[in-house]
């Protein structure tokens, strides 16, 4: 196929170089955005009397049919075209001849591709936000279901203090709510139209960029045409937001993997989200969670590759920038896939509450509460802390726990101890008395659920 730019050349492009240069096999996914952008451009050209109304109407009507034909599979992408922009234009010209050739007036592929990616990512970001909302919803439902289920809270992966499962899982809800705000924020900055920046310097035609921007749902236009065609900040921003989101999913996955091990056995994943082993008949592996953890590295890779592509290129457009798409597309696909399987995995998992409770009974996780007991009786916290440390050491030596150490023994350590201490250090009390704002107590759980309900709508 003869290139659109063949006029200046004596020889055709080498076959290998042509394949190397071509991007249609990955940028064809932006066909809807490319066509919508072209329609807006054509109607602006006629509104500003740059092309005739009849030509513009014919271009738009034909583009509509091309879009339908692509949607229905009647029309296939011609991989001999360099990219999606060339393909749509050549298909248009095939169908309506010279009129089609008028579309590229006052436009360049440089602003065209910049507008296409923004439109594409705007839609995908919306889609990803709605997937995150579903996950937050699943988390809130689990938290409701297991509002009072007690489990050990950890620091350094050592049993630390008793918490409820609801409190633990809602921490992930909070992270995900921030992910949504990060994406919305990135979307805000991304939503400016570069269309009409042309190759880099603008154009001599009397175009109206605000008109196309409005038609395409942008909040305004990019004010510097060089920046308009060179800027891929929004890709880097989205990729960092995706990376942080994946980091959250990966941490959550890590806990799912730990909790479903025999060592913990806090949860049972549903059969439909686990796999078996080809050799060990007893195995039930948390592959989905592991893959999400693994794919996080891949999304980080996409971010680094985008930043690296951009770091050394001079203004304005350079072909290096064609490399933006595979990274961002890969990240979009990966994030969507991960959220798609993560949410039902959470929805269908079962909690083994007894095991969690038993784990919370071990490890002296009520030691802080015992110290607080003494503090409430007037002892300075540091002194109480030291006393309890000695009591814990004694219990370990005698193979006892704080609940089974007799009151007489407590009194030997300090006369402030009375038999009401046992109630104060019960796991239920430890949890229900943590009434501080944001703590594991029930009032805070309800507040968290209420806050997160804003992110499920
Ligand atoms: N396929 C190109 C890309 O993705 C479109 C822009 C081409 N512009 C150019 N001046 N060669 O970046």
- pLDDT of 166 > 80? The answer is yes
**Domain assignment present for 409:** yes
End position of a domain, from candidates 337, 358, 379: 358
Give the number of domains in the chain: 3
Q: Do 145 and 207 reside in the same domain of the chain?
A: yes
Same domain, 427 and 304: no
Identify how many contiguous H helices and E strands the chain contains and give both numbers. Answer: 19, 6
Q: What is the mean pLDDT of residues 54-60?
A: 98
Q: Whose CA is nearest to atom 12 of ligand 1?
A: 322
Q: Which atom of ligand 1 is nearest to the CA of 83?
A: 1
Is 173's pLDDT higher than 80? yes
Distance 109 CA to ligand 1 centre (A): 6
Question: Do 366 and 258 have their domain in common?
Answer: no
- Catalytic position from the list 130, 261, 277, 453: 277
Q: Does residue 24 lie in a domain region?
A: yes
Q: For position 376, which CATH number holds? A: 1.10.40.30
432 classed as catalytic: no
Residue 3 inside a domain? The answer is no
Catalytic residue status for 277 = yes
Quote the pLDDT of residue 367: 92
Q: What is the pLDDT of residue 31?
A: 98
One domain for residues 117 and 80: no
Are 188 and 145 part of one and the same domain? yes
Rounded to 5 degrees, φ, ψ at 286 are -85, 55
Same domain assignment for residues 169 and 235: yes
Q: Give 315-367 pLDDT, tens digit per residue.
A: 999 999 999 999 999 999 999 999 999 999 999 999 999 999 999 988 899 99
Using 50, 70 and 90 to split pLDDT, how confident is the model at 4? confident
| Together in a domain, 255 and 338 | yes
Q: Atom of ligand 1 at shortest distance to CA of 199?
A: 10
Percent of the chain's residues with pLDDT above 70: 100
Question: Are 321 and 380 in a shared domain?
Answer: no
Question: Residue 12 has what pLDDT?
Answer: 82
Residues 127, 96 share a domain: no
Residue 65 located in a structural domain: yes
| pLDDT on residue 249 | 98
Does residue 456 sit within a domain? no
On average, the pLDDT of the chain sits at 95
Which protein residues are within 6 Å of ligand 1, measured from CB? Answer: 23, 27, 83, 109-110, 113, 317, 319, 321-322
pTM over 0.75: yes
pLDDT at 440: 93
Choice among 239-253, 292-306, 416-430 with the minimum mean pLDDT? 416-430
Say what the pLDDT of residue 9 is. 81
Q: Same domain, yes or no, for 85 and 141?
A: no
Structural domain ending residue among the three candidates 358, 393, 411: 358
Domain of 410 in residue numbering reads as 362-442
How far is it, in rounded angstroms, from Cα 216 to Cα 337?
Answer: 28
Predicted confidence (pLDDT) per residue in 94-144, tens digit: 999 999 999 999 999 999 999 999 999 999 999 999 999 999 999 999 999
What pLDDT score was predicted for residue 273? 87
Average pLDDT, integer, range 267-271 = 94
Which one of 29, 81, 83, 231 would you pick to mutate in the ligand 1 pocket, going by the greatest count of ligand atoms within 8 A of its CB?
A: 83
Question: Is 77 among the domain residues?
Answer: yes
Spacing, Cα 443 to ligand 1 middle (Å): 56
Q: In degrees to the nearest 10, what's the CA dihedral of 159, 161, 167, 169? A: -10
Could you tell me the distance, in angstroms and rounded to a whole number, from the CA of residue 113 to the centre of ligand 1? 7
**d(Cα 149, Cα 164) in Å, to the nearest integer?**
5
Assess whether 293 and 410 both reside in one domain: no
CATH label of the domain that carries residue 214: 1.20.200.10
Residues 129 and 252 occupy one common structural domain: yes
Q: Is 416 exposed, middle or buried (0-12, 13-18, 19+ CB in 10 A)?
A: middle
Q: How many CA atoms lie within 13 A of 81 on its CB side?
A: 17
Nearest protein CA to atom 10 of ligand 1, as residue: 110
Residue 457 covered by a domain: no
Please identify, by atom number, the ligand 1 atom nearest to the C-alpha of residue 27. Answer: 4
């Amino acid at each position: 196929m003869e290139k659109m730019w063949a006029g200046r050349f004596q020889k055709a492009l080498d076959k290998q170089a042509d394949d190397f240069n071509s991007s249609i096999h990955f940028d064809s996914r932006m066909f809807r955005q490319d066509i919508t952008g072209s329609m807006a451009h054509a109607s602006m050209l006629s509104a500003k009397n740059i092309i005739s109304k009849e030509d513009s109407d014919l271009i738009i009507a034909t583009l509509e049919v091309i879009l339908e034909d692509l949607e229905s599979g009647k029309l296939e992408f011609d991989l001999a075209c360099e990219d999606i922009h060339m393909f749509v234009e050549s298909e248009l010209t095939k169908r309506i001849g010279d009129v089609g050739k008028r579309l590229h007036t006052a436009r360049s592929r440089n602003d065209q591709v910049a507008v296409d990616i923004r439109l594409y990512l705007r839609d995908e970001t919306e889609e990803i936000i709605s997937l995150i909302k579903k996950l937050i919803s699943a988390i809130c439902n689990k938290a409701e279901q297991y509002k009072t289920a007690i489990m050990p809270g950890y620091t350094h992966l050592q049993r630390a203090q008793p918490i409820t499962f609801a409190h633990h899982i809602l921490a992930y809800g909070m992270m995900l709510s921030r992910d949504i705000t990060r994406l919305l924020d990135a979307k805000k900055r991304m939503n400016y139209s570069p269309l009409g920046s042309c190759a880099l310097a603008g154009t001599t035609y009397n175009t109206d960029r605000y008109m196309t921007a409005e038609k395409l749902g942008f909040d305004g236009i990019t004010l510097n045409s060089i920046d308009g065609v060179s800027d891929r900040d929004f890709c880097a921003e989205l990729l960092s937001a995706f990376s942080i989101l994946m980091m959250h999913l990966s941490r959550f996955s890590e806990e799912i993997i730990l909790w479903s091990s025999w060592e913990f056995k806090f949860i049972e994943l549903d059969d439909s989200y686990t796999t078996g082993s080809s050799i060990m008949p007893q195995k039930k592996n948390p592959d989905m969670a592991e893959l999400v953890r693994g794919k996080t590295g891949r999304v980080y890779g996409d971010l680094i590759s985008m930043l690296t592509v951009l770091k050394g290129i001079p203004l304005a457009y350079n072909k290096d920038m064609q490399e933006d798409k595979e990274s961002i597309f890969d990240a979009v696909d990966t994030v969507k896939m991960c959220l798609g399987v993560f949410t039902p995995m959470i929805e269908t998992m079962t909690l083994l509450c007894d095991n969690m409770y038993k784990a919370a009974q071990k490890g002296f996780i009520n030691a802080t509460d015992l110290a607080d007991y003494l503090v409430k009786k007037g002892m300075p916290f540091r002194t109480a802390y030291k006393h309890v440390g000695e009591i814990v050491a004694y219990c370990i030596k005698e193979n006892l726990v704080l609940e089974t150490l007799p009151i007489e023994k407590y009194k030997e350590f300090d006369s402030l101890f009375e038999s009401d201490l046992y109630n104060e250090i019960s796991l239920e009390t430890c949890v229900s008395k943590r009434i501080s704002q944001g703590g594991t107590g029930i009032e805070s759980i309800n507040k968290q659920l209420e806050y997160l309900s804003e992110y499920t709508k």
